Structure formats: C-alpha cells, structure tokens
Amino acid sequence: MTISKRITIDTDTPKLPSQGKLLKWFDIDFDKGTMTWATRTEEDFDIIEGVSRASRTERFNEKRAGTYAGSSNVEKECFVTVSGVKYRRIDIMYKAATGKDPSNPLIRANEDIRDDRLSNIRELISQDPAIVPPTQEAINKAKASFIEGSRQASLQYVSGCVKA
C-alpha cells in the first residue's frame, strides 16, 4: 500500500511477540524513539541440541547487548530480526508501548523513517467505503450540476430584476 511518494506500507506484518517479551528483549525509550538490545538471560533462548544456552547467552550479550536494534542502513523502512522473523521497528515500538497489535498499518507523522518516537507513530485509519474519495466522474457530475444550478439561479435572478 502506497500512502505518499515516500511511504509504502507492507500490510503483511507477522504476528508480534507479547509486550512482556518485547520489553524484556529491548531497552526502549519511547520519548526519544530509541531501541537497543537488552542483556539476555539463559531462559531467553530455546534449547538447541549441541549448543549450550550459556554459550548462546554469552555470545549474544557480547555481540548485541546495548547496540542499536534494527537495520541501520535503511532507505524505506527499519526492520528488526527476532528469532529469524523480520519485524518493522515501528510495529515493535507500538506493541511494546500499547500491548496490542496494530489493527491498521502504522506510519510516522513526519515521514522520517528514523523517527520512532511514540508521539510520531500513527495508525493509518482503514478507509470506510462511505468515506472513499470521489471518482473523477463523480467530481465532473457535481461540477456540471453546480454550474447548471448556478446558471438557473442567475437566470431567475435576472428575470426577477427585469420584471421589477
């Protein structure tokens, strides 16, 4: 879905983890719009045969803890990969703050993909069929009707002036 020349929204967002998990996995400052990886514990990792949880935890914390969460070289959108699933960073920020999945696509009010402040995140309201913008044909008909109505009103006014 394209909102403007610079905003394209992917509406096929995967289901986000719970708010509790997001707040545990990330250190988030909603006022500044920053999100870094939090320090993990062994319980945060699934058991994988042949790999200890302790070594995975240590490796993650050495490599990721405290670093910027998300792709840093972005043009259209910032993504964060968690357990092999790619999420839009803006969706994670919203879910972590509100506890609910967005019911509509999210956009940034100022269209700056680096600005994930909670105050800048907006839910794109789905279009109600009753509010859909009119087609060009409907606009042309309305203009013609207005012009014809104006012409009729002018004739009545002129003819009223002539009679007086």
H or E segment at 123?
strand 121-123
119 assigned to some structural domain? yes
Domain match, 86 and 137 both: no
In this structure, which amino acid lies at residue 81?
A: T
Looking at per-residue pLDDT, the higher value among 130 and 68 belongs to: 68
**Same domain? 117 vs 152:** no
Residues 155 and 91 in one domain: no
Q: pTM, whole model, 2 decimals?
A: 0.66
User: Residues 81, 144: one domain?
Assistant: no
The model's pLDDT over 72-126, given as tens digits with 9 standing for 90+, comes to 655 678 889 888 899 989 999 999 999 999 888 888 888 888 888 999 998 887 5
The reply to whether 6 falls in a domain is no
Q: Are residues 92 and 137 in the same domain?
A: no
Write out pLDDT tens, residues 113-150. Answer: 888 899 999 888 755 554 455 566 766 666 666 666 66
Provide the residue range defining the domain that includes 142: 133-163
First to last CA, the chain: 61
State whether the Cα torsion 90-94-96-102 is positive or negative.
negative
Indicate the number of domains in the chain: 2
